[in-house]
């Protein structure tokens, strides 16, 4: 799960992040990622929460989908998913 905190949906970092995720919707779906936006936060923040419930990434700047997917694809649970296909 990806949790995005933002002061407003008009916030530039939020729009940049959502645009990147929108362009990579197939990759998000393949990795079973749900994107949740929480508004009225004091600042932009994106967190990746693993299937085990642990926070795997916590950033205060937008990230590329390539970096996100590389991080996820290196995780043991994702490696198991890929090998069992």
How many domains in the chain? 1
> Residue 85 pLDDT more than 90?
no
Name the residue with higher pLDDT: 84 or 16. Answer: 16
> Residue 82 pLDDT more than 70?
no
> Residue range 63-79: average pLDDT?
86
pTM for the model stands at: 0.85
Host domain of residue 23:
2-83
Angstrom distance (rounded) from CA 3 to CA 26: 18
CATH number at residue 52: 3.40.30
> Residue 23 corresponds to which tokens in the numbers above?
């362009």
- 47-to-1, 58, 80 alpha-carbon distances in Å: 8, 4, 22
| Secondary structure E strands in 7-44 | 35-39
SS3 state at 54: coil
> Residue 51 pLDDT more than 90?
no
Looking at every residue in the chain, the average pLDDT score rounds to 91
Per-residue pLDDT, 77 = 67
């Amino acid at each position: 799960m990806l949790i995005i905190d933002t002061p407003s949906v008009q916030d530039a970092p939020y729009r940049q992040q959502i645009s990147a995720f929108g362009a990579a919707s197939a990759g998000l779906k393949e990795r079973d990622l749900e994107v949740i936006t929480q508004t009225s936060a004091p600042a932009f923040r994106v967190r990746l929460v693993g299937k085990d419930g642990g926070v795997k990434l916590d950033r205060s700047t937008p990230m590329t989908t390539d970096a996100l997917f590389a991080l996820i694809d290196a995780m043991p649970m994702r490696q198991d998913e890929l090998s069992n296909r």
